């Protein structure tokens, strides 16, 4: 070993392989390159990610940021040895939050902590992050991989990230225009997304074969549960470019009862018609095998609705048409009414 090259025998004996980190960076460069967009400045491997935003056409640009992780859904990735989709979840949980303010995601950074740095596994995780960034139209401008021997098992890792977006102040979606009679539109989810997996693991892990379908499902249970979170950035941006949106709710942890009220001002509430909700089969499995009450299902999971968009009643038809042009399958699930109850499921 050349004394002028970076390598620490002592650190490697303690469980941290510096050269594995370098190898991981090399393997992920091609994935990062796929996410490049206007404003992104090359330089992976530096100390900071660089981005030059184009704000010339904005009167008062406002930065909007969001951070999140994937949670215990990662445990299923470990059990099934599938690591190329959880990065999508990580991006989705961040960009789907900031789009609720009407902000266009500009860039994303990730943080991966692992018990042992296996470059190929890290590269697979980052490939998912890149897929998510491409879907969201944002650049992956940096990140960090940290090897933590002794803090977590060698074959496990955690991933978190954050996104930064921008919106002109006058176009911020702040619920101030919400009024009784507004229509609530549902955007379908891809499945469970990234919430409620501690309950899911208690129901299924160790009891049912993750490599085989359960009941009428044609998809192996593990694959079904690992379906990545859907990213709604592009259809929402298309919608906000043509209509004034009154409110957006990203349906994550806490389900309907926690998230829909967050986009409704005081004195108003949402009335959601349960019979109109198009619920994927995976939620039937959770309810059946877990003995979970209907209330707890709606208070934990998205039940097939990844995002709710509130528009004026006269804009509903146009909103539905715009979203369909973007490849979505939107439908009406409720309306806004006056009253003290923030949400009623009827």
pLDDT given at position 44: 60
Question: How far is 252 from 92, CA to CA, in rounded Å?
Answer: 11
pLDDT given at position 45: 57
φ/ψ region of 83 (left if φ > 0, alpha if ψ in -120 to 50, else beta) reads alpha
Residue pointed to by tokens 């933590």: 148
Q: Is 121 helix (H, G, I), strand (E, B) or coil?
A: helix
Scanning 109-225, the segments in alpha helix (DSSP H) are 119-136, 197-204, 221-225
Is the Cβ–Cβ distance between 224 and 217 less than 8 Å? Answer: yes
Question: How far is 154 from 116, CA to CA, in rounded Å?
Answer: 5
Question: How far is 299 from 306, CA to CA, in rounded Å?
Answer: 14
Closest residue by Cα to residue 134 from 43, 233, 65, 66: 233
Reported pTM: 0.94
Helix (H) or strand (E) holding 239: helix 233-240
pLDDT given at position 26: 87
Q: Which two tokens stand for residue 39?
A: 């404003």
Q: What is the pLDDT along the chain (346 residues), one digit of tens a residue?
A: 556 566 667 667 667 777 777 788 888 889 989 999 999 987 665 788 899 999 999 999 999 999 999 999 999 999 999 999 999 999 999 999 999 999 999 999 999 999 999 999 999 999 999 999 999 999 999 999 999 999 999 999 999 999 999 999 999 999 999 999 999 999 999 999 999 999 999 999 999 999 999 998 899 999 999 999 999 999 999 999 999 999 999 999 999 999 999 999 999 999 999 999 999 999 999 999 999 999 999 999 999 999 999 999 999 999 999 999 999 999 999 999 998 889 999 9
pLDDT given at position 48: 86
pLDDT given at position 280: 95
Is the Cβ–Cβ distance between 291 and 207 less than 8 Å? Answer: no
**Rg of the chain over all Cα atoms, to the nearest angstrom:** 22
Question: How far is 273 from 276, CA to CA, in rounded Å?
Answer: 6
**Strand blocks (E) in the chain:** 40-41, 50-51, 61-69, 104-114, 139-147, 157-168, 183-188, 247-250, 268-272, 305-311, 331-338, 343-345
Question: How far is 196 from 103, CA to CA, in rounded Å?
Answer: 27
């Amino acid at each position: 070993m050349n004394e002028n090259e970076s390598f620490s025998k002592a650190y490697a004996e303690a469980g941290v392989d510096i050269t594995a980190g370098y190898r991981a960076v090399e393997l992920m460069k091609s994935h990062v390159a796929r996410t490049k967009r206007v404003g992104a400045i090359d330089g992976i491997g530096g100390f900071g990610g660089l981005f030059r935003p184009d704000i010339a056409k904005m009167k008062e640009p406002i930065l909007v940021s969001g951070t999140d992780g994937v949670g215990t859904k990662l445990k299923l990735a470990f059990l099934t040895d599938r690591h190329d989709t959880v990065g999508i979840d990580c991006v989705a949980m961040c960009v789907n939050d900031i789009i609720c303010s009407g902000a266009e995601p500009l860039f994303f950074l990730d943080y991966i902590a692992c018990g042992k740095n296996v470059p190929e596994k890290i590269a697979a995780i980052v490939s998912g992050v890149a897929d998510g960034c491409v879907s969201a139209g944002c650049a992956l401008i940096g990140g960090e991989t940290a090897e933590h021997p002794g803090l977590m098992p060698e074959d496990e890792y955690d991933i978190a990230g954050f996104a930064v977006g921008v919106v002109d102040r006058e176009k911020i979606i702040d619920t101030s225009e919400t009024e009784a009679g507004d229509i609530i539109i549902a955007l379908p989810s891809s499945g469970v997304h990234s919430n409620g997996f501690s309950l899911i693991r208690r129901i299924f892990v160790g009891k049912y074969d993750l490599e085989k379908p359960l009941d009428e499902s044609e998809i192996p249970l593990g694959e079904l549960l690992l379906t990545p979170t859907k990213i709604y950035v592009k259809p929402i941006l298309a919608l906000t470019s043509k209509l004034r949106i009154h409110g957006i709710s990203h349906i994550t942890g806490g389900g309907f009862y926690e998230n829909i009220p967050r986009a409704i001002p005081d004195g108003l509430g949402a009335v959601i018609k349960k019979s109109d909700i198009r619920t994927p089969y995976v939620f039937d499995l959770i309810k059946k095998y877990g003995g979970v009450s209907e209330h707890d299902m709606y208070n934990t999971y998205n039940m097939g609705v990844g995002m709710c968009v509130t528009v004026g009643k006269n804009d509903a038809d146009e909103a539905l048409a715009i979203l369909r042009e973007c490849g979505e399958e939107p439908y009406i699930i409720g309306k806004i009414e006056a009253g003290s109850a923030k949400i009623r499921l009827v």
